[in-house]
Amino acid sequence: MKVRGGLAAIALLCFVGTAWAQAGGDLSVGRKMLLEDNPGELWIDKGKALFHEKRGPKKASLEQCDFGMGPGKLEGAAAKLPRYFPDVDKVQDLESRLVTCMVQLQGFKRDDVEKKAISPSRSAGSDVEALALYITSRSNGMKVNVTLSHQKEYDVYKAGEYLFYRRAGQTDFACVQCHGEANKRIRLQDLLHMTNKDGAGEVASTWPAYRGAHYVVRTMQWRLYDCFWQMRLPDLDYGSDVSIALTTYLNHSGNGTIIKVPGFKR
Amino acid sequence: MNKASLKRTLLGASAALVAGCATAPDEATTRQIAEKMVKESFIASPAHAKRLVQDKSQQICSKIGDAKLTQAEAAEVVNLARASIKYPASGKLVGDWKIGDKLAHDGAGDRIRNGKLEKRKENGGLCQNCHGLAPGEINVGNVGPALTGWGMQRGNSEAIAKYTYEKIYNAWLYFPCSNMPRLGATGHLTPEQITHLVAFLIEPESPINKK
């Protein structure tokens, strides 16, 4: 029994280790992954380092990036996103705000950042994925609290609700066709009931998440992109207004849920 | 009050206005804002962008929240559905259940990634994603009702074959705005493919009608 358990542990170690080695890491990292409940935890440290490192053409860190609580103030910031930002006169989600800072403060090219934002499966992950997770993790234990105090926030929220019910394409799907009832599945995959507060709360509180099937951390932008792909609609642009509107609608619907990232998805 | 403090007061008042007085936009405004977002949020060739444009039935069937269809709207959806249905050139509505079985378990086809259309000879029927199929089959969804025993319960008469064909081609003929995709009417499946699914559903030899 002991031997068998040991073999299984070695097999698992090799399995995880191989995945990581392919991604350019080393075995010690794989061993560390085994000790954690959620392999996504590793991305937090990576994101933290990236946040403070002087990077990009302007050789600047992200310490002056304002996520709504003031420059560099991350505690609880993600819990209130999406929100209106006067400097861009737009409602932004965490990821679009992050890209704004990487472009303005660090001098990265927007197209480059957005193109790389969603990483290939089994890769080491993108900078944006690690940063988004680190920043959100600074709201762990806090309640989702999206307010609609600015008119643009209210407008975007209502647009998100409209889009949640907007059917299109050859499958005639809107979000609500799969996410409007409790205890539903696509094949064996459970679907969240997002017109219910708890279901919306799970959306609002568990992204970014480690996606087991992909061996990387995925973000809400990825989640939405992949849904539209499955619906047979065209490629959802990274950080698009549709994505921000849906996220505003869902996060506001999930207000009060306690944030715990990284989530863990199949 | 000196000039500076007046300025502060005014600033404070306008900040309060901005912060506290957001109101729900009316429906027309929301539609306008959201439809503009749809136009600007996808990277698509003109051909693929057409998928984002709603037809009349989709517009009617996109009710928000608990809003109900009016009788007139339901009648319009039914009329549009009736007009949409095309029958196979052969006139034969019952195809090969074995091909239908494969189609029912195929969830692929016509997805777009990085601007490229999924390469497929034909689209899958998508049935397994949402419906229970043969008895004891576990890897099936439950967004729609189980189809297990469909033909056993209804028989395989001409009338049932026609009903089944139309139900798959455009489900909204019988249930306006149901969750079921109008698989034939939107062009996801061809009439011939649908005849195979009809056979899979109604033929007594089909695994769906076994105990």
Can you give the pLDDT of all 211 residues of chain B as single tens digits? 455 544 544 444 444 444 567 999 999 999 999 999 999 999 999 999 999 999 999 999 999 999 999 999 999 999 999 999 999 999 999 999 999 999 999 999 999 999 999 989 999 999 999 999 999 999 999 999 999 999 999 999 999 999 999 999 999 999 999 999 999 999 999 999 999 999 999 999 999 999 8
Alpha-carbon distance A159 to A189, whole Å?
28
Q: Does B34 touch chain A (CB under 8 A)?
A: yes
Domains of chain B and any CATH numbers: 70-209 (1.10.760.10)
Cβ of B139 and A155 within 8 Å? no
Distance CA B14, CA B8 (A): 10
User: Domains of chain A by range and CATH?
Assistant: 1-35 (no CATH), 151-265 (1.10.760.10)
Please check whether residue A235 is in contact with residue B112, taking contact to mean a CB–CB distance below 8 angstroms. Answer: yes
Q: Cα–Cα distance between A60 and A63 in angstroms, integer?
A: 8
Please tell me the pTM assigned to this model.
0.88
Subunit contact A241:B37, Cβ cutoff 8 A? yes
The answer to whether the Cβ–Cβ distance between A168 and B49 falls below 8 Å is no
Contact B137, A188 (CB under 8 A): no
Give catalytic residues of A, as residue numbers: 227
Quick check: B181 and A243 CB within 8 A?
Answer: no
Which burial class, exposed, middle or buried, applies to A87 when counting CB atoms under 10 A from its CB (0-12, 13-18, 19+)? exposed
What residues 157-196 of chain A have any CB closer than 8 A to a CB of chain B?
158-159, 161-163, 165-174, 177-178, 181, 183-189, 191, 195
Is the pLDDT at A95 greater than 80? The verdict is yes
Handedness of CA A27, A31, A34, A37 (dihedral sign): negative
- Gap between the Cα atoms of A162 and A246, Å rounded: 9
Query: Measured between CB atoms, which of B25, B114, B187 is closest to A235?
Result: B114
